[in-house]
């Protein structure tokens, strides 16, 4: 593993499989009575969040604690940042306190890369979302979820009705993934396009022309403006939230019009192949990009994705900070079976 995780584009096929396979090992810990490993005992992980977050912050905190690391949660609100402190001075403060890893979410695209390459801190940097740029661990947990449903079924084929299986050692070669919605402002979409392509999947972006970024034709994916035309051949459909807080113009006529053209309802879900799953990185705008009926259906993996996120982030922290020995030793396995 590299020293930092800044972009999904930095991961090779082998890197991605190593993380996903390690996450499968970590997922087994969640089924044990005591959900902890001593792997990162004595290490300090700082969650440095300059933007609001629920799932990602709590997920990283749970991951670090399950690996026995010491966790420091930093929120820009109520800190010296609100008094004008720069990212550099904040980083130098964390370095002085002995941070081994910094998990950073920032409203400015490129902030994690700056932190990783500046020399301000010696520890590892993990990008937990920077502006509209990337969110690599979200893409990893999405791929982990897809792999369990689409590549990890017991008979080796897509079997939604049998539930998720163990995807160890498999990629997503030949699977068709459709990502729908506000691609322009979505760091999740960017990371998923890179990672899913690396894992061999065929990705199609579906959005109004106004919600697609300039230069999207150079991305390793296809683009469509018609959701109905791609549903029947999709193995997974990922619905993206419309990020109104990042919009400073009218990107579509009305919310009702957007939902009619690009929202996933029960009728559209019925067109999907039987094995296909519906995904959402959260938080959801129910009634806009996804109806409550679809969100609460057995085919929607949104809650499962949250659980898988802890396993994937445990794997990332372990590989960046530990990584030289198996995550779960023979001793651990013996205890697990007792």
Report the phi/psi class of residue 230: left, alpha or beta, with left for phi > 0 and alpha for psi in -120 to 50: alpha
**Residue 56 CB-density burial (10 A; 0-12 exposed, 13-18 middle, 19+ buried):** buried
182 and 76, same structural domain?
A: no
Q: Is 268 annotated as a binding residue?
A: no
140 and 260, same structural domain?
A: yes
Look at the pTM and tell me if it is higher than 0.85: yes
- Rounded to 10 deg, the angle between the 136-146 and 302-321 helix axes is 120
What's the domain count of the chain? 2
261 and 175, same structural domain?
A: yes
Closest to 101 measured CA to CA, from 305, 319, 300: 319
244 and 147, same structural domain?
A: yes
161 and 295, same structural domain?
A: yes
> Could you give the CA distance from residue 264 to residue 32 in angstroms, rounded to a whole number?
36
Pair of tokens at residue 258: 């957007």
For the chain, the residue count is 338
Q: Is 90 annotated as a binding residue?
A: no
147 and 82, same structural domain?
A: no
Q: Which domain holds residue 316?
A: 8-134+305-337
- So what's the pLDDT on residue 286? 93
268 and 164, same structural domain?
A: yes
> Could you give the CA distance from residue 16 to residue 1 in angstroms, rounded to a whole number?
10
168 and 122, same structural domain?
A: no
163 and 295, same structural domain?
A: yes
Pair of tokens at residue 307: 């659980």
Please report whether residue 1 resides in a domain.
no
90 and 48, same structural domain?
A: yes
> Residues 4-16: pLDDT tens digits?
999 999 999 999 9
Q: Is 209 annotated as a binding residue?
A: no
The separation between CA 240 and the C-alpha centre of its own chain, rounded to angstroms, equals 12
Please report whether residue 59 resides in a domain.
yes
> Residues 273-332: pLDDT tens digits?
999 999 999 899 899 999 999 999 999 999 999 999 999 999 999 999 986 555 555 455
pLDDT-derived band at 74 (thresholds 50, 70, 90) equals confident
Please report whether residue 3 resides in a domain.
no
- So what's the pLDDT on residue 13? 97
Please report whether residue 177 resides in a domain.
yes
191 and 290, same structural domain?
A: yes
Q: Report the share of the chain in percent with pLDDT over 70.
A: 88
Q: Is 55 annotated as a binding residue?
A: yes
Q: Is 56 annotated as a binding residue?
A: yes
How far, in Å, are 125, 158, 210, 238 from residue 317 at the CA level? 10, 30, 37, 26
- So what's the pLDDT on residue 135? 97
Please report whether residue 314 resides in a domain.
yes
> Could you give the CA distance from residue 177 to residue 189 in angstroms, rounded to a whole number?
11
Q: Is 246 annotated as a binding residue?
A: no
> Could you give the CA distance from residue 26 to residue 319 in angstroms, rounded to a whole number?
12
- So what's the pLDDT on residue 243? 79
DSSP sequence for 50-99 = SS--SHHHHHHHHHHHHTT-EEEEEESTTSGGGGT--HHHHHHHHHHTT-
318 and 245, same structural domain?
A: no
Please report whether residue 319 resides in a domain.
yes
Summarize the confidence of residues 229-251 as an average pLDDT.
Answer: 84
Q: Is 253 annotated as a binding residue?
A: no
> Residues 120-150: pLDDT tens digits?
999 999 999 999 999 999 999 999 999 999 9
Is 173 a residue whose pLDDT tops 90? Answer: yes
pLDDT-derived band at 82 (thresholds 50, 70, 90) equals low
Please report whether residue 160 resides in a domain.
yes
Pair of tokens at residue 86: 């720069």
Q: Is 187 annotated as a binding residue?
A: yes
Strand order through the sheet with 277-279: 222-224, 202-206, 176-180, 236-239, 277-279
Task: Look up the CATH number of the domain holding residue 317.
Answer: 3.40.50.1370
- So what's the pLDDT on residue 251? 73
Please report whether residue 95 resides in a domain.
yes
């Amino acid at each position: 593993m590299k020293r930092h995780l800044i972009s999904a584009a930095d991961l090779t096929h082998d890197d991605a499989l190593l993380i996903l396979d390690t996450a499968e090992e970590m997922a087994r810990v969640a089924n044990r009575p005591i959900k902890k490993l001593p792997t990162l005992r004595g290490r300090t992980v700082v969650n440095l969040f300059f933007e609001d977050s629920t799932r990602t912050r709590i997920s990283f905190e749970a991951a670090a604690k399950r690996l026995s690391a010491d966790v420091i949660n930093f929120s820009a609100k109520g800190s010296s940042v609100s008094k004008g402190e720069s990212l550099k001075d904040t980083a130098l403060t964390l370095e002085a306190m002995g941070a081994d890893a910094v998990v950073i979410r920032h409203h400015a695209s490129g902030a994690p890369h700056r932190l990783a390459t500046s020399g301000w801190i010696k520890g590892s940097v993990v990008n937990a979302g920077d502006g509209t740029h990337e969110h690599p661990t979200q893409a990893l947990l999405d791929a982990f979820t897809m792999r369990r449903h689409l590549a990890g079924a017991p008979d080796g084929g897509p079997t939604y009705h049998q539930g998720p299986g163990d995807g160890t050692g498999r990629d997503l070669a030949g699977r068709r993934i459709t990502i729908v919605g506000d691609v322009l402002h979505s760091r999740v979409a960017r990371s998923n396009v890179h990672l899913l392509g690396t894992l061999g999947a065929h990705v199609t972006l579906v959005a109004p022309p106004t919600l697609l970024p300039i230069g999207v034709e150079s991305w390793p994916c296809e683009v469509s403006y018609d959701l109905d035309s791609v549903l029947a051949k999709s193995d997974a459909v990922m619905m993206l939230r419309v990020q109104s807080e990042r919009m400073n113009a009218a990107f579509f006529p009305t919310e009702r019009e957007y939902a009619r053209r690009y929202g996933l309802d029960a009728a559209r879900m019925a067109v999907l192949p039987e094995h296909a799953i519906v995904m959402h990185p959260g938080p959801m705008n129910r009634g806009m990009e996804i109806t409550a009926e679809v969100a609460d259906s057995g085919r929607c993996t949104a809650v499962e994705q949250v659980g898988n996120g802890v396993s994937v982030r445990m794997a990332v922290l372990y590989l960046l900070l530990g990584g030289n020995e198996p995550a779960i030793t023979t001793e651990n396995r013996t205890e697990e079976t007792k």
